[in-house]
Structure 1
Amino acid sequence: MANLAALLTAVNTPLEIQEVEKWTPDPTEILVKNEVIAFNPIEWKLAKLGIYPLHFPAILGSTIGGTIEAVGSEVKGYEVGDKVVASKKFGQKFGADGNRFGAYQRYVVVGDVMISKLPTGLDPAVPASIMMNLTCVVGLFTGRLGLERPPLNGSKAAKKSEKILIYGGSSSFGTLSIQYLSQAGYSVTTTSSPKNKDFVSKLGAATVIDHTGQSEALSKELIAKGPYDIVVDMISLPNTIPILAGVLAAQDGGNSLYAMQPAFGPETLPKGVTRVFEPWSDPLYEDGNQHLLEWVIKTYLPQGLANGVINPVPVERVAGGLSGVNGALDRMQKGVSGRRLVAYPWER
């Protein structure tokens, strides 16, 4: 059966639905019949802002759920017919040379590392919607910053002394981070709009601050609730970075502002404050962290969802299959809070 894809032919132009090659996996790869696309915010920035170099035509998208169609000769532990979710490593071959890995198509090639078998009866849209961000959460807080992981056996973690500020608690990255950190025993202060406050509070945040008011008042309240050992801006836009940078500048010690994306242009930060960004799943691929990558994919994701340890934000279906991708990108550009968008590429 032919493979269809939503192709980006130039930055900030509508994606076009075209027939493309049905890929053959290499010995260490797997071909998946893609049944659900989970959208990640970085994708609209790639499509509309070109924040990373692209080779056109490009098939974007990072995370999928579906059924294994073919297995490479060196792959162990997976068989044709297995239900899986998969994600490519952030930055992996953006552009035409990596089109086989893009999620915006009906058949996708994935490596045998960032792929997880699904428990029976679990809707693939749910784990697919959090997979990429979940690897980034563990990569940042444990792989890079050395914080402890939460227990999955029902036991309660000992309280830790570290206090962490998460700006943007109702974002997907924010909600996963709050759960991960609070369940590991850390004290989390976060921000949210009033409509999402109750949901964010139930995730384990010790303090939830309304971030919809004036930035000056918000800054004062955040500073008053500090000091913080770690400050993370889950939104990382020109209107949020100065607020968090001001919080860091007002407290003694700790000058790193951890961000979810690089600066879009020149920015001026207070003396001693540095924006720190990298693709936060990258630490999982470093020497000594391979066990963390395996734990996230093979244990934390499936068991956390099955046991109710991970409470994802609701998913919302975008109508139109591959034709709905443009609308999803437009919506993410305007801002999506408290939900994750998914599309079904076989839907017409």
Structure 2
Amino acid sequence: MSSNTAMPENTAAWLMAEKANPLVVKSSTYTAAGPNEIVVRTAAVAINPLDWMKQDTGSFVCPWVKYPFVMGSDIAGEVVEVGRGVTRFKVGDRVMGHSVGMDEKQNRSAEGSFQTFTILLAHMASPIPASMSYESACVIPLGASTAACGLFQEDQLNLQYPSVTSKPTGETVIIWGGATSVGLNAIQLAKAAGYEVITTASPKNFELVKHLGATKVFDYRSKTVVADIIRALDQKKVAGALTMGRGAAEACRDILKHCHGKKFIAMATYPSLATPPTSLVLLRTILNFISWNISHWVTCKARGIGSKFIFGTTLAHNGVGKALYENYFPQALADNLFTPSPEPQVIGHGLKFIQPAMDLQKEGVSAKKVVVTL
């Protein structure tokens, strides 16, 4: 886009102040693509718990954010501008990508997906085939990124990278919470990296997780689930565990205690109170977080188990982002070797539907992802 070209009009759904509700739809500055960036005209966005959690809890989540701010992580759309150094994309390309505006190192509204024109880091975007809808494509990024952080980062499970030509490693990964957004992506990525996957889900989602690559699946509500998984892992070499959901880390501590292999838990879910507090919310949330962490650390230390929480944007600053969005997704999506998951649940068209979509996601959806088209 030349300097003589008038900048397009941009509009965004703004979080105007800490805990402000609802989001306010109003004009926003169009930001040109910098080096190694692209600008995408947004066609569809997906909603994640991070969005409503930031709105509800304020400084407890991403405290570095300054208001007003544009949130949003999942995006699919059309490239309208490419920055210096970008050779993978051209204007008109259909892409999906992970908007990392809420990452502490990026921390800018121009990189939030809840707007008409969004900046993407080029290495955090991937072309999508003509046969794939924007609605389907936009469900992938944050779930896949979070899964990839846990599976492949050196400070997490440190598994080998996924590939369309991978060979079996002979090792098994435990994915607790296989029907979650992160879990559905983790199953496929772990399989593509050459690992056998054992997972948990509700019985209604057993066939789904098996279809995506899980070898065995267990009902996480079963009273014998821990013992059943321990038996299933007998004589197997474990590559570690990736956990989503309440009680997941505790269950995997009990499982890994009896397993051979890597005793490490990559945790995608932060501890929360069983009943959301109605008073002193932030204080009680922080105290619960601290007490849980102390108890968890002591238990893991006694059992020789390592663990770490995942923050789903860290891959933007190490080789994992490039391995996923540049080296794996383009071919995997083109060859139908990766299934966009979960299925999109489109609730409306236009930025005015972002707030209702966040409210719906907060209420909870099963094996689906709430999507808004633009």
Indicate the TM-score class for this superposition, using the shorter chain for normalisation: 0.7 to 0.9
Question: Aligned runs of 1:100-179 on 2, under 5 Å?
Answer: 100-144=110-154, 145-153=157-165, 158-179=167-188
Residue of structure 2 in register with 1:278 after alignment: 310
Aligned counterpart, 1:298: 326
Q: 2:231 aligns with which of 214, 220, 224?
A: 224
State the distance in 2 between where 1:231 and 1:251 align: 11
Counterparts in 2 of 1:297 and 1:283: CA distance versus 1, 3 Å = closer
- Specify the alignment match of 1:13 in structure 2: 21
Read off the aligned partner of 1:120 and give its amino acid letter.
Answer: A
Separation in structure 1 between the aligned mates of residue 263 and residue 359 of structure 2, nearest angstrom: 35
Aligned in 2, Cα 1:331/1:212: closer, same or farther, shift over 3 Å?
farther
Q: Secondary structure at the match of 2:345?
A: strand
Contact 1:127 1:301 in 2 (8 A): no
Q: Aligned equivalents of 2:315 and 2:43: distance in 1?
A: 29
Alpha-carbon offset, residue 143 of structure 1: 3.6
Q: Which runs of 5+ in 2 are unaligned?
A: 1-7, 273-288
Alignment of 1:199-348 (within 5 A): 199-213=208-222, 216-226=223-233, 228-235=238-245, 237=246, 239-251=247-259, 254-263=262-271, 265-266=289-290, 267=292, 268-269=295-296, 270=299, 271-272=302-303, 273-280=305-312, 282-283=314-315, 285-286=317-318, 289=319, 292-313=320-341, 314-345=343-374
Give TM-score, length-normalised by structure 1: 0.84
**Structure-to-structure mapping, 1:13-162, within 5 angstroms:** 13-50=21-58, 51-53=61-63, 54-89=65-100, 91-93=102-104, 98-144=108-154, 145-153=157-165, 158-162=167-171
- What TM-score, normalized to structure 2? 0.78
- RMSD in angstroms over aligned alpha carbons? 2.8
SS at match of 1:113: helix
SS at match of 1:319: strand
Quote the Cα distance in structure 1 between the aligned partners of 2:164 and 2:95. 21
Say if 1:199 and 1:261 are closer, same or farther in 2 by CA, change over 3 A: closer
The answer on whether the counterparts of 1:170 and 1:192 sit within 8 Å (CA) in structure 2 is yes
> Does the 8 A contact of 1:60 with 1:94 survive in 2?
no
Contact 2:147 2:185 in 1 (8 A): yes
Q: Contact 2:73–2:141 (CA<8 Å) still a contact in 1?
A: no
1:180 is aligned to 189
Change (3 A) 1:120 1:91: same
Structure-1 separation of matches of 2:324 and 2:151: 13
Measured in 2, the distance between the counterparts of 1:226 and 1:163 equals 8
Distance 1:12 1:207, change over 3 A: farther
Q: Which amino acid aligns with 1:317?
A: V
Letter in 1 for 2:109: N
Distance 1:246 1:319, change over 3 A: same
Distance 2:316 2:78 in 1: 25
Residue-pair matches, total: 333
Higher mean Cα deviation, 330-339 or 140-149?
Answer: 140-149
Q: Which runs of 5+ in 1 are unaligned?
A: none
Contact residue 124 and residue 316 of structure 2 kept, 8 A: no
8 Å CA contact retained: 1:30, 1:112: yes
1:292-319: CA deviation from partner (whole Å, max 9, x where unpaired)? 5434223422321222211223211121
Q: Percent identity?
A: 24
Shift of 1:203: 1.9
Of residues 294-303 and 106-115 in structure 1, the stretch that sits farther from structure 2 once superposed is 294-303
Distance 1:11 1:117 in 2: 35
